[in-house]
Structure 1
Amino acid sequence: MKEKELNNELNIGGSIDKALKGTYSLSAINILDEAVTLTTKQFWRFLPAMLLLFLANVSVWLVVISLAIENPSSILQSLGRAEPFTLEQGAAMRIASFCSTVICAPLYAGASLMGLSHAIGFDTKPRHLLKGLAYASAITFAILVTTSLQTFANYLLPLLGLYFGIAFSMTPLLVCEKEMRVTEAMWVSLRAVTKKLLPLCAVYVVIAGLFVLSLITVGLALFWALPFLFNVKGIVYREMFGVGISVTVAEDKPEPFDDEQGPRGYFDA
């Protein structure tokens, strides 16, 4: 049967123009409240992807540590004895953290896209973590540059490093969802975030508290903190820049429901 299809381009949330001008509202309380709701709703769908992301980071971290120092177990011994780390151990851990962040950047992008999908009302599946691989080269370069700038800023002034960490936080999603060049995405993220720095700082203070709680609970709280973090990023991005979605609906004969997003409707990130 011949069918006609109606294609609609929709935008949910803000826009780049509004984000750069700061002409929109951003409430820390509303963001956190919605993030709690989304994390509760999507928890079991999101958890396997978060575990995979965590294990990938830990695996890379351990490999780099084993290459950087002769006795990697000495780090665990120092932790067990509550002793300060040696200069060699400290340097090795910083290098390992940097490498794991950069190497796992595509998975980080995939998790960010999953959080964005939740923020606009779509469900996700664990395999969607791999969506970031489509932007692997651009995202890896973006994370490499932003992480390097943040690390360098930390040496100069820790507060500057924290600012860069928040200011560049929207870069991966701008590269993926808006398909911006890395340098353009960094500049847009920095300008837009700076316009709403105070409410975003409040949000990230809460997130930092969750990660501190994760340390206190020997990692248990991390199972909540990681999904919460990516859902927060999705909500903030939606409110700042908006999300473009494409909806295709059959006019004559309804198509079978898609197993993820509904009848021929999809979020094309």
Structure 2
Amino acid sequence: MSNEIEKDFNLGGSIETALSGKYELSVTKVFKEAWDHTIKHFFSFAPAIIILAILQVVIFFIALNMQVTDATTVFENFAKNGTLPDGFVRALYVANFSYEVVTAPFFAGVCLMAMSHSAGLKTKTRQMTSGLQFTISVIIATLVSLLLQGVANLLLPPIALYLSLAFSNAVLLICEKRMRPLNALMLSLRAVNRKLLPLAIIYLVIMGLFVAALMFYGIGLLLVLPFFFHVKGIIYRNMFGIRLKIVATNHNNNDDSGDDNQSQVFNA
């Protein structure tokens, strides 16, 4: 006979602690833990990162080629002459906007995988599709975020960078806390404002790592990308907390009492 006992608990912070700023966010500790998770889960996590990157690149070039006759030729001419045809910058912006919106649910799934790692759970590549159940909400949040950043970039570019940072937790709030898109964006902004300086330092360092990785023909992205997602997961855990469920199974039979088995489950 088997009896299951389920118990929910919260790991890390909470919405209340996020809004009050009463949680620990050490830059060095976040980086150290993120690096540990990156190494520990590298071979199981890297395939999801690679699939997401390929998907984003494919959609980017499809969107670009729908606006430009031959994007490859344009890039070759830019490398030789340093000039771009009229309207090409706008085409790049639209292509970038398109891939971010279309791949948003898969991006959310990868974020959930990294968040699970920060909670001590293992993941499989197929879990990158876990964000699909939140497709509409995630796309709405992404659209609003990108539109606001686009408008801010026209007025004052530093504000666009701030909004990118301010909305960085919205996707996980939608998927893990089941929040509505606009509520998630506003909550993320309010919480980030409580720890703006350490968060800005963290993401500035990550931006520097991306630049360094690209200088080495992009090979370094194999480490920087999973590191980035793990940093996001750890920050989210410390700020808002992660809801986990302990399932204790008690196996009993007529001859002996059996063993008690426990497992931790996160339900996206």
Calculate the TM-score normalised by the size of structure 2: 0.94
- Native 8 Å contact 1:69 1:88 kept in 2: no
Shift of 1:201: 0.6
Unaligned residue ranges in structure 2 (runs of 5+): 253-257
Give the drift of 1:252: 3.0
Going from structure 1 to structure 2, the CA distance change for 1:224 and 1:76 (only over 3 Å counts) comes to: same
Amino acid at match of 2:89: G
Q: 1:152 to 1:44 in 2, by over 3 A?
A: same
Residue in 1 that maps onto 2:198: 199
AA aligned to 1:33 is K
- The one-letter code of the counterpart of 1:192 is A
- Measure, in 1, the Cα distance between the counterparts of 2:194 and 2:236: 14
Contact kept in structure 2, 1:175 and 1:185, CA below 8 Å? yes
SS in structure 1 at match of 2:190: helix
What residue in structure 2 maps to residue 214 of structure 1? 213
- Which position in structure 1 is the counterpart of 2:242? 243
Distance 1:219 1:89 in 2: 24
**Mapped pair 1:67 → 2:56:** no
**For residue 184 of structure 1, what is the aligned residue in structure 2?**
183
Instruction: Return the alpha-carbon distance in structure 1 between the equivalents of residues 245 and 228 of structure 2.
Output: 26
In structure 2, the residue matched to 1:169 is 168
What SS is found at the alignment partner of 2:41?
helix
Q: Separation in 2 of the partners of 1:136 and 1:192?
A: 24
Q: How does 1:1-269 map to 2 (within 5 A)?
A: 1=1, 3-81=2-80, 83-253=82-252, 263-269=262-268
Q: Evaluate the alpha carbon distance shift between residue 131 and residue 84 of structure 1 in structure 2; reply closer, same or farther with a 3 A threshold.
A: same
3-state DSSP class of the match of 2:70? Answer: coil
Query: Could you tell me which residue of structure 1 aligns to residue 255 of structure 2?
Result: none
Deviation at 1:25, TM superposition (A): 2.0
Farther-moved stretch of structure 1 (3-12 vs 175-184): 3-12
Query: In 1, Cα distance between the equivalents of 2:43 and 2:60?
Result: 26
Deviation at 1:163, TM superposition (A): 0.2
2: CA distance between counterparts of 1:177 and 1:216? 35
1:82 positional shift: 6.5
Question: How far does residue 256 in structure 1 lie from its aligned partner after superposition?
Answer: 11
The one-letter code sitting in structure 2 at the alignment partner of 1:16 is I
Q: Does the C-alpha gap of structure 1 residues 82 and 199 become closer, same or farther in structure 2, counting only changes over 3 Å?
A: farther
Change (3 A) 1:74 1:29: same
CA distance in 2, matches of 1:181, 1:231: 24
Paired with 2:259 and 2:115, the residues of 1 have a C-alpha distance of 26
Relative to structure 1, is the Cα distance of residues 115 and 96 closer, same or farther in structure 2, using a 3 angstrom cutoff?
Answer: same
The 1:57/1:255 distance shift into structure 2, 3 A limit, reads: farther
Q: TM-score normalised to the size of structure 1?
A: 0.93
Greater gyration radius: 2
Q: Mark the runs of 5 or more structure 1 residues left unpaired by the alignment.
A: 258-262
- Amino acid paired to 1:68: Q
* Counterpart AA for 1:93: L
CA contact (8 A) 2:251 2:259 kept: no
Per-residue deviation, residues 114-158 of structure 1 (Å, max 9, x unmatched): 110010111111111111111111111111111111121111111
1:93/1:182 CA distance change after superposition, 3 Å: same
RMSD, aligned α-carbons: 1.7
Distance (whole Å) between structure 2 residues aligned to residue 76 and residue 218 of structure 1: 17
1:242-263: CA deviations, max 9, x gaps? 0001111112357998xxxxx5
Deviation at 1:264, TM superposition (A): 4.5
